[in-house]
Structure 1
Amino acid sequence: MLRALALRPPWPYVGEVVRSLLGILLSVLVALELGSAAGAIAAGLSGAIAGAVALQDSRRGRLPLIVSASAGMALAAFVGQLTAVHPALYGVTVVLWCLVTGMVWAISANAGLVAASSSILLVTVPAADAGPREALTAALLALLGGLSQAVLVAAWPRQRWRGQRRVLTDAYGWLATGARRLAVDPDSILDPTPLIELRETATLTEHQARRRPPAHRGLYGLPERIAMTLNALRPHTDTPHLRAVLLATGDALQAISGSDSDTARTDAELALQHLTDASAALRGNVAAVVGRLREQVTEAVAVHFGDSDLLSATQAARTTIAAQWYGNSPILRHAVRLAGAVGAGTLIMAVAGVQNAYWIAVTVLLVLRPETAHTYTRCVARVAGTATGVVAASAVAAFLHPGPAVAAMLAVVFVAVAYAVVGLSYVPLAVALAAALTCLIDVSGAVDATTVSQRLVAIIVGGGLAVASHVILPDRSLVRLRQRAGELLKAEIDYAATVIRAFVHPLGHADETLAAVWERANRARSAFEATSGSARADAPEVRRWLMAYRAALNAVTGACATLEDQAHTAQPHTLDPRFVVAVDDYVDALRGEAPRPGRPWSLDARHLAEADQQLRDAATLLGKQDTAQRVLLAETETITRHLLTVADLARR
């Protein structure tokens, strides 16, 4: 359920959302039929999490992710029920579990939300008189609730974007032919015009392109970057070993275009090995270009075939988590805050002996995030949203006294509302999630006015613990400053990307759109300056970094202001499509990947430099009438230069 926080609005996938909701309802009804109220809660919550995971776009298959999430939820239900009869052991288990789940945020926001949901299951399902049999029953029902989503995904698969995949494989086949031709004919040129069909097919709408994760959004840009790099090798075709590089590149790209073959992946990996061996013998400028080509072809193979090695993925996740075990890590501090606050809530629950006291721990899990920006404001807002959702759902249950099946249906309705509002704000989302969780819990018994008041008091206490944990263990000032710097960089780049796109695509409601992105950038700048004013900048290197960072971003802002003044004079309909492609690739390179928890946002300097060079090469496609676009070229050169400076500062 919490997993929905990381999803974009699902309206293009209405059928999949309905499939997910159907799986939740069936899981709860089956568990109720078996006579297990705790199992119904476990099955419903596990089904909701697995259903949200099923909506995730991922290079790795969805089924392994669903199975992994289901197994984690089942383990939480089993451990919670098994240890509930021993309060001291149960308290220690909850603290350790929350410490581990807090560290999972290092992998990604999605993984962190799934882990937080398992913690909610750990604190809501247990009963004081439960035994091994009840624990096993709850675990099996939680596992079946999650796996039901896997069955529905297999029976009701997502509609494939077949047209995009077909054009994509055709593009790689065209590139393979071009690379082989270049190996024998140095005078040949790869004209990227045929790749324009790929962009037009793969992009669909700007909204849908933004919904896709970076691995999918960049599918149409990667072949164009490979074509650009191959053209950059034309002056060096007489270099020894370069012919072997080009032939190996052609073999790898041909394997991608023939991915229906059983041996395609093996052929691609063998060609990559040949490419690596041939490039090792090169030196000088050509070695740098070939290195870029090798990285691009490797990326194309990885994106196209995906990463199906779960063992490697697990090892990479453990390495990522282990890298956060140091004192200043915001992820480690979040994990300690989470474990401490939930542990305190569990202790209060044991001492108070009130039936609904588990809402203290649930509230902490709902509102705490590894955030460094507007921490207290967001905590309080989530607490208010949680209280509103719980009170509203509890009040409805207290007055209407719905049966278990009706309560389950109400929970599903609120999950649907959560999907509908996920892109609006975290406050209405908190309301919907809390209401759904309340209805799901209420399948186990009657609700009266006393229950409502108990839950409200527990939420207030849980919210107080969440805020207090940030007061007691805040993030380091310099860590917060780096985080604010990353947020400011992302906001400035979003502003720049919006302005730049206006030169090649008509911008609907241009004034309102530009004003909105500028306002976000302005708020991010205010937060950065407030943090830099409160942080200790005694060290000379910190002061120098602040001065250089401000100067670079001020230059980017100035260039964007110049572009905004010229944007209304642009005439996109007169442009060569190849120039539009180059600008779109530049915008994609600017936007980069989504921010990751606990890490300052940064841009991909290599991709940006490549896209900038491609944009320079496309300048020859402009006509005399394209004066606004010539201003664009001059200002994007300034933006690139200063953003590369910012990227260099971030590595220090």
Structure 2
Amino acid sequence: MTTGSRVVEALKPPTPDIGAVARGLIAVLAMSLLALAVGSGAAAVWAAGAGIVCASIALQDSPGGRVQLVAIVALQMGAAVFLGSLTSAYTVAFVIVVAVWCLGAGMQWALGNNAGLVAAAGTALLVIAPTDVPSATSVALPTLLTIAAGFVQAALVAVWPPQRWRTQSDALAWAYRSLAADARRIAADRDSPLEAAQLTWLRDAFADTQATRRPAAYHGGHRLPERLMGALLALRGSSGDERDRISHMLNDAAVALDAIAENKHNARREAEHALVRVDTAVMALKGPEGPAAQRFSKQLQEAAEFRFPDLLQPDVMNPLRAAMTEVRKHLTRTSPILRHAVRLSVAVALAVAADRFAPIAHGHWIALTVLFVLRPETAHTYTRCVGRVGGAAGGIVLASLVTTIWQPTGVIAAMLTVACLAITFWVVRFGYLATSAGVAAAVVFLLEIDTAAAGATVEDRLFSVVIGGGLAVVAHVVLPDHALTRLRQRAGELLKTEIDYAATVVRAFVHELDHPADAMSAAWQRAFRARAAFEAASGAARMDSRELRRWLRSYRAALNAVTSACTTLERSLPTQSPTTLTPDFITAVDDYVEALRGAPPNPALPWTVDVAALTAAEKNVRDRAGSLPGDIGAGRVLVSEIATITRSLVGIVPNREPTSAG
């Protein structure tokens, strides 16, 4: 694939690693077969469902702690199964349990998209619980099998991570060993030459495998070693009384870097002890080298935290406390997370009550549809609700064609579930409609594993899906997001699309696109639609506040400046090949685009950019522009318009919109 094709595809979710998907799905099938052999059909459904959720989480990009994350998800799935199997036989108690669980599950979106989706999946396992009278075996065995299914996925991540992770891990290990050798060389001889260009291979490893939008902590994995190299170059010139102290500090830093690069069982302890010695040495520095040494020490800490996520967490309760603190921030009347949690709790509780009290066959699909449709999103709420319902209906129809003709249950249904999920992992990059269809089809086969609950017709499923979709839309109508919250989210969406437009145009200057006009036109169309939605939201908000009106004027002016700069860049696109530009300049522009695009925000927050990173990247572009030949006028235009884009974004991002209209 050419560079241009990668740019066009950058906004789509990356296709998961085929090997990792295959391993995860084989484990799902194995655990469902085991559950069928030693437990009930319901236990097999639960074990397969938990395995699917944990396999999906295992494929998500995270800078560290992947095994612990999957294990925590497994425990959450086990808790849902435990409560479901314990209370499902008692309808009133079950409805109350579902309502309370959904309230907590909705608040979990405050921790991020993945956390919210995991909570929704756990709720799905809860609402499909059969109405059997609980016993010690019927409660304990499914719970243990569910947790075991998740722990199997965690073990697979630990023993056999995806190829992309292995490639990046090997590249980082090589880079840190190289930096450790450089630190020892400088400690012994300050005049020893260093080749910063040797880290280019690391950048290539991440550029080829890293999508443009991953968690913020995962972004720019190659940048930290490059920053450490820059700090080493700054420390190389030290002299005077501090020379010996810096030499000792660099030797300790080399020990820490070697430990960060290793996978030994005692690497974490070695890194921790070495970092303590580095900090002690840095604190003792009093000369002009102090700031550079402090910066180097801080970067070492970041590298260690990247490698050992729990390095600065003395006990296991700290992450839980941090999560609770984040959730408590959203216990306010205007929070979209709290409103989503209330909507979810009420809608799912009503769906479960309808299933239990109304003569609706296989009515659990009502609650499943509500869980499938509801999100804490303000932009395109109703469009996406209807789209997800339509996608789910399409997937159900396709799966029902198979179940009507073949009527698979047990092992065959488990195999069809796995096959359907494999297709879903492939089509996820085509958008949420295709994903909705794939997931719904997989759920059809998943529920057919339990012979006692199988046999739903396509009419039964579609009738419940329509009711569930309508219930989700009504929940949004009855309890909408706050007007200013909607305006804030629309503003964030507009900012995101403007950033995408700017990033596409900027990349077109330094990389050859297959169809540059189509790529930029598509980006502009998205920005145009987002601007129309933003203006509609601003028109619906009360404009009694002078502060709000002033913010709207400044926001529009800043984004107009970004659009104007992009238009100028489009008119000035160079006709010659980007190969005439220097590699350093192209790298600096790529770094600027990465800093510009940022990472997906928390669902409760509007899209934003890292002002400090963006400013530093823009300065780097200006510095590298000095090496351009004088006859490359397009490069000068690019530098000038990048400065305009940065100035506009820096002006609006720190100044958030007012919190009240009056």
Q: Normalising by structure 1, what TM-score?
A: 0.89
Residue 386 of structure 1: how far off its partner (Å) = 1.6
Matches within 5 A, 1:12-411: 13-159=17-163, 160-161=166-167, 163-170=170-177, 172-173=179-180, 176=183, 192-204=196-208, 208-210=210-212, 213-227=215-229, 248=249, 251-252=252-253, 255-259=256-260, 260=262, 262=267, 263-271=269-277, 273-274=279-280, 277=283, 295-307=298-310, 309=313, 310-411=316-417
Amino acid paired to 1:164: A
* CA distance in structure 2 between the partners assigned to 1:544 and 1:243 by the alignment: 57
Deviation at 1:463, TM superposition (A): 0.9
> Once the two structures are superposed, what CA deviation does each residue of 1:215-252 show, in whole Å capped at 9, x if it has no partner?
344022233345556778999x6899899689757744
Does residue 618 of structure 1 match 2:638? Answer: no
Question: Are the equivalent residues in 1 in contact too, given 2:448–2:455 (CA < 8 A)?
Answer: no
Deviates more, 1:189-198 or 1:532-541: 189-198
Task: Answer whether contact 1:60 1:306 (CA < 8 A) is retained.
Answer: yes
Cα gap change, 1:244 to 1:474, in 2 (>3 Å): farther
Question: CA, structure 1 residues 584+242, in 2 after alignment: closer, same or farther (shift >3 Å)?
Answer: farther
**Percent of aligned pairs sharing the same letter:** 42
Once residues 245 and 527 of structure 1 are traced to their aligned partners in structure 2, the CA distance between those partners, rounded to angstroms, is 57
CA distance in 2, matches of 1:49, 1:614: 42
Alpha-carbon displacement from aligned partner over 1:376-405 (angstroms, at most 9, x marks no partner): 111111112222222332342123222422
Structure-2 change in CA distance of 1:176 and 1:24 (3 Å): same
- Structure 1 unpaired stretches of 5+: 1-5
- Identify if the C-alpha distance between structure 1 residues 289 and 14 changes in structure 2 by more than 3 Å, giving closer, same or farther: same
The worse-fitting range, judged by mean Cα deviation, of 546-555 and 499-508 is: 499-508
| Residue 133 of structure 1, CA deviation | 2.5
1:308-350 Cα offsets, whole Å, 9 max, x none, are 6543322221211111111111111100000010011122122
Change (3 A) 1:249 1:560: farther
Distance 1:549 1:174 in 2: 49
CA distance in 2, matches of 1:349, 1:622: 69
Q: Summarize the Cα distance change of 1:372–1:242 in structure 2 as closer, same or farther, 3 Å threshold.
A: farther
What CA deviation, in whole Å up to 9, does each residue of 1:539-589 have, x standing for no partner?
111111111111111111111111122223354212222222222221111
Partner of 1:3: none
C-alpha distance in structure 1 between counterparts of 2:104 and 2:485, whole Å: 22
Partner AA of 2:413 in structure 1: A
Q: Measure, in 2, the Cα distance between the counterparts of 1:223 and 1:450.
A: 56
For 2:611, the equivalent position in structure 1 comes to 605
Q: Sort the Cα spacing of 1:111 and 1:175 in 2 relative to 1 into closer, same or farther, 3 A.
A: farther
Question: Is the alpha carbon distance of 1:125 and 1:189 closer, same or farther for their aligned partners in structure 2, counting shifts above 3 Å?
Answer: same
Letter in 2 for 1:100: G
Alignment-derived partner of residue 3 in structure 2: none
Three-state SS of the structure 1 residue aligned to 2:408 is coil
TM-superposed deviation, 1:435: 1.1
530-539 vs 107-116, greater mean Cα deviation: 530-539
Q: Residue 399 of structure 1 aligns to which amino acid in structure 2?
A: I
> Residue 463 of structure 1: SS of its match in structure 2?
helix
Question: Are 2:41 and 2:452, in contact at CA under 8 Å, matched by a contact in 1?
Answer: no
**In structure 1, what is the equivalent of residue 640 of structure 2?**
634
Say yes or no: does 1:504 pair with 2:510: yes
Give the SS at the match of 1:649: coil
Q: Does 1:565 align with 2:568?
A: no
- Answer with 60-69 or 89-98: which moved more: 60-69
Deviates more, 1:294-303 or 1:634-643: 294-303
Q: Which amino acid aligns with 2:53?
A: I
SS state at 1:219 partner: coil
AA at the equivalent of 1:222? L
Assess if the C-alpha contact under 8 Å between 2:214 and 2:599 holds in 1. Answer: no
How big is the shift at 1:635? Answer: 1.3
Partner of 2:498: 492
Question: How many angstroms apart in 2 are the aligned matches of 1:594 and 1:178?
Answer: 40
Does residue 455 in structure 1 map to residue 458 in structure 2?
Answer: no
Moved more, 87-96 or 54-63: 54-63
* Residues in 2 aligned to 1:246 and 1:648: alpha-carbon distance in whole angstroms: 41
Q: Which one is further off, 482-491 or 170-179?
A: 170-179
CA distance in structure 2 between the partners assigned to 1:609 and 1:289 by the alignment: 20
SS of the residue corresponding to residue 63 of structure 2 reads coil
Q: Which residue identity does 1:314 align to in structure 2? A: L
Q: Go from structure 1 to structure 2 and tell me whether the alpha carbon gap of 1:542 and 1:271 turns closer, same or farther (over 3 Å shift).
A: farther
Question: In 2 relative to 1, CA 400–30 (structure 1 residues): closer, same or farther, beyond 3 Å?
Answer: same
Deviations 1:87-132 (A, max 9, x none): 1111110000000011111111111111100100000023243434
User: Contact 1:172/1:254 (CA < 8 Å) preserved in 2?
Assistant: no
Cα distance, 1:323–1:450 mapped onto 2, change above 3 Å: closer
Report if the CA contact (8 A) 1:483-1:599 is conserved. yes
Q: Where does 1:471-482 land on structure 2 (aligned, <5 Å)?
A: 471-482=477-488
Residue identity matched to 1:224: E
| Cα distance between partner residues in 2 of 1:566 and 1:141 | 62
Structure 1 residues 540-619: aligned runs within 5 Å: 540-569=546-575, 571-619=577-625
Matched, 1:524 2:527: no
The aligned amino acid for 1:412 is V
Tell me if the contact between 1:176 and 1:254 (Cα under 8 Å) persists in the aligned partners: no
In the alignment, does 2:28 pair up with 1:10? no
Distance of 1:170 and 1:212 partners within structure 2: 26
2:184–2:250 contact (8 Å) kept in structure 1: no
Q: AA paired with 2:535?
A: E
Looking at structure 1, the residues matched to 362 and 432 of structure 2 have their Cα atoms a distance apart, in angstroms, of 25
More off after superposition, 444-453 vs 555-564: 444-453
* Number of aligned residues: 637
- Do the aligned partners of residues 126 and 180 (structure 1) sit closer, same or farther apart at CA in structure 2, a change above 3 Å counting? farther
Question: CA shift at 1:494, angstroms?
Answer: 1.7
Distance 1:88 1:407, change over 3 A: same
RMSD, aligned α-carbons: 3.1
Give the 3 Å change call, closer, same or farther, for CA 360–628 of structure 1 in structure 2. Answer: same
Distance in 2 of aligned mates of 1:616 and 1:174: 31
Deviates more, 1:265-274 or 1:103-112: 265-274
Distance 1:644 1:178 in 2: 40
Residue 153 of structure 1 deviates from its aligned partner by: 3.6
For the structure 1 residues 307 and 449, does the alpha-carbon distance in structure 2 shift closer, same or farther, using more than 3 Å as the test?
Answer: closer
2-structure distance, mates of 1:282, 1:540 = 51
Distance in 2, Cα, partners of 1:244 & 1:117: 55
Residue in 1 that maps onto 2:7 = none
Instruction: Please give the per-residue CA displacement for 1:384-435, whole angstroms capped at 9, x wherever unaligned.
Output: 2222222332342123222422111111111112111111111121111111
